[in-house]
């Protein structure tokens, strides 16, 4: 009876000591991996939005009339990338909140602010696209504001990723602006 008791006690002590250590190691690895994925994916989607905005801007400058179909496709693409950026950033912020990382949350809030500005400019651009005919000049000015907000979001996101030691995302190449 004593033998079983001491054997059970020894097993319980071993488990009590080793399981928290294993769990902590796995939680840390998970957090680093999650942060990397969410941060770098946000970065990729910001670039996607920037590139689609640039393509649309170039189209507006080169086309004598604006096709509602092209305009609609551009808006769908830009919306998709802004929404995916927000989804990945929100997931990253959830982890930062759980880790009580106030500095990183402040940096993430700056990115959020630029995304909000980008959404506002994109909403204004969509309203311009509802007009018949679409005013290409006014649309170009609004796209430029959208691109500026996205550029600021990228810069602040890169600062956040650097502060979290998540490495530098693939080199940023500015979307061509004629």
Q: What is the pLDDT of residues 26-39, one digit of tens each?
A: 355 345 578 888 99
- Residue 122 included in any domain: yes
Residue 124: pLDDT over 70: yes
- Residue 13 included in any domain: no
What CATH number did the domain enclosing 140 receive?
Answer: 1.20.1420
- Residue 70 included in any domain: yes
Average pLDDT across the chain, whole number: 84
Mean pLDDT of 64-79: 95
- Are 154 and 172 in contact by the 8 Å Cβ rule? The answer is yes
d(CA 114, CA 72): 23
- Residue 26 included in any domain: no
Q: How many structural domains comprise the chain?
A: 1
Give the pLDDT of residue 18.
Answer: 46
- Residue 168 included in any domain: no
Domain that holds residue 59: 31-163
- Residue 41 included in any domain: yes
The DSSP code sequence of 78-133 is HHHHHHHHHHHHHHHHHHHHHTT-HHHHHHHHHHHHHHHHHHHHHHHHHHHHHSSS
Q: Quote the pTM value.
A: 0.79
């Amino acid at each position: 009876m004593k033998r079983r008791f001491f054997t059970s006690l020894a097993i319980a002590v071993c488990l009590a000591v080793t399981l928290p250590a294993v769990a902590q190691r796995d939680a840390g690895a998970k957090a680093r991996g999650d942060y990397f994925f969410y941060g770098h994916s946000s970065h990729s989607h910001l670039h996607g939005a920037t590139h689609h905005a640039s393509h649309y801007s170039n189209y507006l400058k080169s086309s004598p009339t604006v096709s509602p179909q092209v305009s609609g496709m551009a808006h769908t693409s830009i919306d998709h990338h802004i929404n995916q950026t927000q989804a990945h950033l929100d997931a990253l912020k959830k982890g930062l909140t759980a880790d009580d990382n106030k500095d990183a949350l402040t940096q993430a809030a700056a990115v959020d602010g630029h995304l909000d500005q980008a959404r506002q400019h994109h909403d204004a651009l969509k309203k311009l696209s509802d007009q018949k005919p679409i005013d290409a000049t006014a649309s170009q000015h609004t796209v430029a504001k959208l691109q500026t907000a996205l550029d600021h979001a990228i810069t602040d996101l890169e600062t956040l990723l650097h502060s979290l030691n998540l490495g530098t995302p693939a080199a940023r190449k500015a979307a061509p602006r004629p």
